[in-house]
Amino acid sequence: MTTPLPAPWQAFGVRRPTPGDHLPVLAVLDGWWGGLGGEEGSRQRALLLPKLMFQHFGDSSLLVTSGDRIVAFLIGFLSPSRPAESYIHFVGVDPAERGRGLGAALYERFFAYSRAHGRSVVRAITSPVNKGSHAFHTRMGFVTEPGPKEFEGVPVQPDYDGPGLDRLSFRKDLSRTR
C-alpha cells in the first residue's frame, strides 16, 4: 500500500493505524457523520469500531493525518473464511476534505492491497439511509447485492447487523478492473 496519494493530499501522512489510534478515531465519528441517528447512531458507530479492529487489522487498514489531526481512515481486512474476498469494514473522511478524491484514493489502495494478496472480490455494507455512501460505492464500481427487502427502491439485507439494523450489501469484482 505504498501508492502515493493524489497531489492535493501528498502533504498528508498515510500510515497503518495502531491500537493507540482507536480513541482518536472514535472522537471524530460524530462530527464527521453530522450526528446522524442521534445518540443511538453514535453508539452504533462506536460499536462498529472496537479496539480489536486496530489491534488485528492494522496491516490492511489506512490512516491519513495532517499533523495531529485525523483526516481519513479505512479499516479493512482480508477475509480469513473466504480466501477470494476482502472486506472494507468502516471508512471515514473529514467533511472538510470530501469530494476531492481522498476516499476514492483510499479505496484504490485497498483494492491494490487485496489484489496483491490474491483477492478478486471486495465487499462492503452501509446503512440504507446513508445515500451518500450508496452513491460513493456505486461510483467506485460496487454493485448493490439483491436482498429480500427494499428501502426506497434499493435492495436491503434485513437485520444484517442485528435486529432492525438493515444494511445495503455491496460487491466489487476486482478482476473486471485494472
Per-residue pLDDT of the chain (178 residues; tens, 9 = 90+): 455 666 666 778 899 999 999 999 999 998 898 777 788 888 888 888 999 999 999 999 999 999 999 999 999 999 999 999 999 999 999 999 998 899 999 999 999 999 999 999 999 999 998 898 999 999 999 999 999 999 999 999 999 988 988 999 999 999 865 4
How far apart CA 87 and CA 110 sit, in angstroms, is 9
Amino acid at 155: P
According to CATH, the topology of domain 1-80+89-119 is Aminopeptidase (3.40.630)
Report pLDDT for 100.
87
> What Cα–Cα distance (Å) separates residue 51 from each residue in 11, 41, 57?
28, 18, 10
Report pLDDT for 1.
46
Beta-bridge partner residues of 155: 150
The CATH 3.40.630.30 portion of the chain extends over 1-80+89-119
How far apart CA 94 and CA 148 sit, in angstroms, is 34
Report pLDDT for 23.
94
Report pLDDT for 12.
87
Beta-bridge partner residues of 93: 72
How far apart CA 43 and CA 142 sit, in angstroms, is 27
Where residue 62 falls (left for φ over 0; alpha for ψ -120 to 50; beta otherwise) is: beta
